Amino acid sequence: MNQQWLLDNANIPIKYNILKNKQLHQGLLENDEVKYWFSLLKQKSLVNIHGSFDYCFENIIGKLWILGLSKEIDEFDHNLKFVFDFLNEQVGKQYLEELSFSKIYAYRDYETILASYLPFLGYYNEKSVQYITDKRINILYEFTKQKRYDIYVDGSKLKGVRKEWQPYVINPSLYSDGNIALPSIHDLILFSGMYMYLDKENKQKIETIIEWILDERYDDIINNYGYFYFPNESYNAKAILFKIYLPKLINLYKRDQRGLLFTCLILSYFKSSRNSKWFLSAMQYFDQFKTVDNRYFFPKHMITEKPDYYLIGGGHMNIGEDKRSKLYSEIISTYWIERISKNLEN
C-alpha cells in the first residue's frame, strides 16, 4: 500500500528506485538533485575520497546510489570508468615501506572506501571489486572469529602518546601490514552490496563479522575504536576509523538519531543483524513515528539533507524530493522504511 502511495506522490528518483523502469532514465537524469551530484562525479576527481564535504567521492557515489543511478544508465557508466582505471592500478600495487599513516590511508581510501558502493551500482563482477571484497572479508574474519574484544595495548609504554589517549592505543598487530582488521561502515556497505553474489562460505564469514559487531562486548570499545600508533612519524598517534555506531535506543539525542535509518538499511542485508535484539529494537523504535495511515513521519534531523555532511552519518537522506512540498517529510520517511522493509521481506 505504501509503495503505491509513493508511486502516486513521489518524484522520479523514488519511482525509479521502486520500478527500475528504463523509460524513466532520462527523467531521473533531469532531476535537480541528481544533476547536482552527477555534476560532481563528472569532475572525475579522486583527490578527496573520504570526508564530509559534498565533493568527497564517498558522498558523491553514495548519494548517486541512493538516488537510483547504476551501471544500467549509460551516461553514468561512461562517467565512472575513471574509477576502475584507478582501482585496477591500485589493487596491483605492493607497499613495501614500513608502516605509516599514508600506507593505511592507501588501503582504506583507495580500496575499501572507493569500492564500497560499487556492487550496489551493478559492478559486482569487476575483478578489482571482487579482489577488495575477498581481501576485506578474510582480514576481518580472521580477527572477528576469535571473538576477541581486547583490542588495546598499554599506551603508557609508548613514546609520545598523549596521556588521555594511552588507554585506547589499538594493538599494532591489528594493522601491522597497513590493512586494518577492525570492521568499518564502509566494509559493511561493500559486503551488503556484494552479499547476494557471494558463495555460502563467504556469506558465513560475513555473518561472523556482523555477529562480532552485535556482541554486547562491542559496546566497551570507544566510538572511534581508538588510536593507531606510528612510532616513526612526528605525529605518532591518530584516530583513523569509526565503529559502526549502534546507540542505546532509549532517550536518544538528535546526533544519535541522525544516522539510524542509514545504519539500519545497511544492516538489513545480513541475517545476523536482522535477527539481532538491537535491530529489532530499532525497528520498534521507528514505529513511534508511524502515522494513522501506516506511513511514517520522522523529525527533520532524522531525514536531513545538508551540504558538507557525511552521508554515512545520515546527512544526505533526500531522494530527489522538493523540500517545499507539504508531503516531503512523509515521503522521505516512508520511503526509507519501505527500503529497509523490502530487505526484511526478501
Please list the pLDDT of the chain residue by residue as tens digits (346 residues).
799 999 999 999 999 999 999 999 999 999 999 999 999 999 999 999 999 999 999 999 999 999 999 999 999 999 999 999 999 999 978 787 788 888 999 999 999 999 999 999 999 999 999 999 999 999 999 999 999 999 999 999 998 899 999 999 999 999 999 999 999 999 999 999 999 999 999 999 999 999 999 999 999 999 999 999 988 776 688 899 989 999 988 888 888 899 999 999 999 999 999 999 999 999 999 999 999 999 999 999 999 999 999 999 999 999 999 999 999 999 999 999 999 999 999 7
| CA atoms of 95 and 6, how far apart (whole Å) | 49
Straight-line distance from the first to the last Cα atom of the chain, in angstroms, rounded to the nearest whole number: 17
Phi, psi of 146 (to 5 degrees): -75, -15
Residues with Cβ within 8 Å of 346's Cβ and at least 6 positions away in sequence, in order, are none
Structural domain including 131 reads 97-244
Phi, psi of 191 (to 5 degrees): -65, -40
Q: Is residue 186 part of a domain?
A: yes
| CA atoms of 14 and 17, how far apart (whole Å) | 5
The count of C-alpha atoms lying within 13 angstroms of the C-alpha of 88, restricted to the half-sphere facing its C-beta, is 7
| pLDDT for res 234 | 67
| CA atoms of 198 and 202, how far apart (whole Å) | 6
Q: Is residue 119 part of a domain?
A: yes
Amino acid found at 218: Y
| pLDDT for res 99 | 85
Ranges of H-type helices in the chain:
2-9, 12-19, 25-30, 32-41, 57-67, 74-79, 81-90, 101-107, 114-115, 127-144, 185-194, 200-214, 254-258, 260-267, 271-274, 277-286, 328-345
| CA atoms of 346 and 333, how far apart (whole Å) | 21
| pLDDT for res 232 | 77
| pLDDT for res 58 | 98
- Domains of the chain: total: 1
pTM of the full structure: 0.97
Given a contact cutoff of 8 angstroms between Cβ atoms, the answer to whether 137 and 191 are in contact is: yes
Nearest Cα to Cα of residue 174 among 127, 212, 129, 130:
212
Q: Is residue 175 part of a domain?
A: yes
Q: Is residue 329 part of a domain?
A: no
Q: Is residue 225 part of a domain?
A: yes
Question: What's the chain's length in residues?
Answer: 346
Given a contact cutoff of 8 angstroms between Cβ atoms, the answer to whether 209 and 144 are in contact is: yes
| CA atoms of 109 and 56, how far apart (whole Å) | 11
Q: Is residue 203 part of a domain?
A: yes
Q: Which residues partner with 153 through β-bridges?
A: 169
Q: Is residue 138 part of a domain?
A: yes
Q: Is residue 222 part of a domain?
A: yes
The count of C-alpha atoms lying within 13 angstroms of the C-alpha of 92, restricted to the half-sphere facing its C-beta, is 7
